[in-house]
Structure 1
Amino acid sequence: MPIAQLGVVVLDCPRPRELAEFYAAVLGGSITGAEEDWVDVAAPGGHRLAFQQAPGYVAPSWPAPDASQQFHLDLTAEDLDAAEKEVLALGATVLDAEDRSRSWRVYADPAGHPFCVCAS
């Protein structure tokens, strides 16, 4: 029997509403609760993300052999090229998408968190 269940994954960021809108659009989710320093997003499948304002937030470096990326999200998509167009239009930036033979591409969200879009 588990001790606990995962409730929500929380990402620190400078502007919670802005980042929540980005992930709600990427995941096809909706904002379900918002305060000045905390915003919740419900994604399809019952998954939840939250975004917490963090004064002094510094985005992780990727790749950085001397620093940790802290964490990253792996998102899946049927069409990597179409997904790339859409995440870039929403404000993502490319970190490592040059190798088109791989089954994943690496981006940063608007607050600088790395995330991958992987072939489903």
Structure 2
Amino acid sequence: MIGDLQCVVLDCPEPVSLARFYQALLGGTVNRGDRRWALSDEWATLHTASGQVLAFQGVDDYRPPRWPESSHPQQFHLDVGVPDLDVAHQQVLADGAKLLDDGGGTRGWRIYADPAGHPFCLVLERPPRST
């Protein structure tokens, strides 16, 4: 092993605003003090409730991905498990997400863009099967 993953960094035009979007989606604390990095107008973090960290880096000439076009590839995406897809759908739209693909309405997932254009999926959590 060479090292431990510290965080996933997303380029964006407004770091704190995007951190707050993901805070509404995942829970956690925006811009909690951390010895690994300094916070600034161009750098924000989200320490999620699950312990994972997302970081948001301001980029002046930011160009968002355009799913599914390869001229502006998605570069990464997050899958977020939810117990109720319809409720989660309404919540992320209210928080500024844009629906990209409704999964045909029956697939158990939907694809969205966050306010900066990064794709992410809401995936319906299925209860474990009893044996």
TM bucket by the smaller chain? over 0.9
In the alignment, which of 45, 59, 81 is matched to residue 86 of structure 2?
81
1:93 & 1:8 partners in 2: Cα distance? 24
Which residue does the alignment assign to 2:23? 24
| Larger Rg over CA atoms | 2
Counterpart code for 2:69: A
8 Å Cα contact 2:112-2:120 kept in structure 1:
yes
Which residue does the alignment assign to 1:72? 77
8 Å Cα contact 2:64-2:72 kept in structure 1:
no
Identity %: 49
| Unaligned runs of at least 5 residues, structure 2 | 34-38, 126-131
Counterparts of residues 9-20 of structure 1 (less than 5 Å): 9-20=8-19
8 Å Cα contact 2:11-2:62 kept in structure 1:
yes
Q: Which moved more, 1:49-58 or 1:33-42?
A: 33-42
Q: CA deviation at 1:98?
A: 5.1
1:103 & 1:6 partners in 2: Cα distance? 29
Normalising to structure 1: TM-score of the pair? 0.93
Counterparts of residues 29-108 of structure 1 (less than 5 Å): 29-31=28-30, 32-33=32-33, 34-97=39-102, 99-108=104-113
Q: CA deviation at 1:68?
A: 2.0
CA-based RMSD of the aligned residues comes to: 1.2
Q: CA deviation at 1:75?
A: 0.8
Normalising to structure 2: TM-score of the pair? 0.86
| Unaligned runs of at least 5 residues, structure 1 | none
Which residue does the alignment assign to 2:128? none
Higher strand share: 1
8 Å Cα contact 2:82-2:123 kept in structure 1:
yes
1:46 & 1:25 partners in 2: Cα distance? 15
8 Å Cα contact 2:103-2:109 kept in structure 1:
no
